[in-house]
Amino acid sequence: MKKLSASQTPPEVGATLQKMRLSRGLTLEDLSRAAGVSKSMLSQIEREKANPTIAVAWRLANALGIGIEELLTGATQKVEAIH
């Protein structure tokens, strides 16, 4: 059986999700209500016990005001000011 390389494993979004949530001063309850995702599911995702579906990741990203790619990769988008 072929072993998966690092690039073939699913992204671990838990740490990114928790960082984004806490940086916005949100509790699990706050994000749960905003995204329409149960607190239990959010907790499982943050602890890497569950992976979000695309629909759940999309709702979480929207509730946090970020793009889904930022949630999945942990890379922040740089915004340049136009003068």
Rounded Cα distance between 30 and 3, Å, is: 39
Question: Is residue 3 domain-resident?
Answer: no
* Structure-block tokens of residue 49: 């016990």
Q: The whole model's pTM is what?
A: 0.79
pLDDT at 29 over 60: yes
Residue 78 located in a structural domain? no
Domain membership of residue 82 (yes or no) is: no
In a domain, 5, yes or no: no
Asked whether residue 36 is assigned to any structural domain, the reply reads yes
Residue 24 lies in a domain: yes
Residue 29 lies in a domain: yes
Number of domains in the chain: 1
Residue 15's pLDDT band (cuts 50, 70, 90): very high
Grouping H, G, I as helix, E, B as strand and the rest as coil, residue 82 is: coil
| Average pLDDT estimate for 3-23 | 83
d(CA 21, CA 77): 16
CATH no. for residue 61?
A: 1.10.260.40
Residue 53, pLDDT above cutoff 90: yes
